[in-house]
Amino acid sequence: MTMTDIQIERANLDVFSEALMKIAEKDKDILVVTSDSRGSGKLGPFAERFPDQIVEVGIAEQNMVGVSAGLASTGKKVFAVSPGSFLTARALEQIKNDVAYSDYPVVLVGISSGVSYGALGSTHHSLHDLAALRAINNLTVVIPADAYETEQAILQASVAKKPVFIRFGKKPMPLLPRPEMEFEFGKASVISTGSDVSFIATGETVAPAYEASKILADIGISAGVVSMHTIKPLDKTTLIAQAKSCRALISVEEHSVHGGLGEACASALMTAGIHLPFKIIGIADEDTKTGSQVEIFDHYGISGRGLSKTALSLLK
């Protein structure tokens, strides 16, 4: 895909299903396993074009992950696709043992992750997944921010020799301007650099962080934005470089403030002996406010306005 192919606002979910079709066409060992989730996964067209490359197991996430591991052990390249919350809570033990510990390179795809389901409420939100999966050895944890990162993540996961978890939402995302078209698991993408503050954001929170950097620029504050698309392994080099080149850091994630990107960054910074004004922005540890994804983001300060305000107070 070249930059010109990409419409400006595209849902990562759409990019995912198209990328999957591209690789499935060339490689008959590519399989998608779903738990009555082909509709939510926008996999209807995939199922029509590649009926022999999709396996439906019904609403049974534990079995979905176990079956995926079994398939992968025979050489199949399996994408196990299910809503992020059900995939990572219901089937956590299968992820831990059948995939990660047994070391079969299943690609676990959490769709409609974070608070994508918005007003459907907390049963459908996945705000625990990063905390849970970060503590599982042998699992790469990826949250692409836009169409470019999503496509790259799917392509690279399809040839990975190790298990990968990828999660995204379904809201159209702007294509981020990036100085370099480079994407590698474990290597953060620096979208822009700033000397006052830097946003270390991930997934669908990178766009509002970028918006905040524009707002801040208008009032003379130099703010950088990093897409920390890989939560594990965390790109500590880029994180520390950002901390050293500005006065304050703000982590942003569509996840509980506990156990996710923010705490990973805090740990890496403190361990490296770096102390600077730092704030973790995410979903507070409380009964999550209801509303659409945008409204929930807004409520927790994950917006251009909210994040720029946080930056100003941190820089005071």
Partner 1 sequence: MKAYTDRELEIKSVQYRMNLLRYIKQANAGHTGGSLSCTDILNVLYNDVLNVSPDTFTSRNRDRYIQSKGHSVEALYVVLADMGFFPEDDLNTLCRYGSDYVGHPTRKINGIEFNTGALGHGLSISAGIALAGKMDGRTYRVFTLLGDGELAEGSNWEAAMMAAHYRLDNLHAILDHNTLQITGRNREVCSPYPINEKFRAFGWEVTEVNGHDISKLRKVFKTIPRKKGKPSLIIASSVKGKGISFMEDEKKWHHGVPSDEQYKLALGELKKKMEALRV
Residue 202 engages partner 1 in binding (rule: CB under 8 A): no
Residue 65 engages partner 1 in binding (rule: CB under 8 A): yes
Residue 303 engages partner 1 in binding (rule: CB under 8 A): no
Which uninterrupted H or E stretch holds 291?
none
Residue 92 engages partner 1 in binding (rule: CB under 8 A): no
Q: In degrees, to the nearest 5, what angle opens at C-alpha 107 toward C-alphas 101 and 108?
A: 85
The CA-based diameter of the chain, rounded to the nearest angstrom, is 59
Q: What's the closest the beta carbon of residue 153 comes to partner 1, in angstroms?
A: 24
Catalytic residues: 61
Q: Which of 4, 51, 75, 161 binds partner 1 (CB under 8 A)?
A: 75
Strand ordering across the sheet containing 248-256: 189-192, 223-227, 197-201, 248-256, 278-283
**Region from 8-16, 95-103, 126-134, 172-180 binding partner 1, contact rule CB under 8 A:** 95-103
Residues 25-64 close enough to bind partner 1 by CB under 8 A: 52, 55, 57-58, 60, 62-63
User: What DSSP string runs through 130-156?
Assistant: HHHHHTSSS-EEE---SHHHHHHHHHH
Residue 242 engages partner 1 in binding (rule: CB under 8 A): no
Where do we find the tokens 């059948």? 98
**Region from 68-76, 154-162, 194-202, 225-233 binding partner 1, contact rule CB under 8 A:** 68-76
**Helices and strands in the chain, H and E counts:** 12, 14
Residue 276 engages partner 1 in binding (rule: CB under 8 A): no
Q: Which of 36, 103, 295, 298 binds partner 1 (CB under 8 A)?
A: 103
Where do we find the tokens 């251009």? 304
The smaller minimum CB distance to partner 1, of residues 102 and 156, is found at 102
Beta strands 223-227 and 189-192 are: antiparallel
Sign of CA dihedral 138, 107, 207, 259: negative
**Region from 16-24, 65-73, 127-135, 295-303 binding partner 1, contact rule CB under 8 A:** 65-73
Phi and psi at residue 78, to the nearest 5°: -105, 130
Residues that bind partner 1 (CB under 8 A): 52, 55, 57-58, 60, 62-63, 65-76, 93-94, 97-98, 101-103
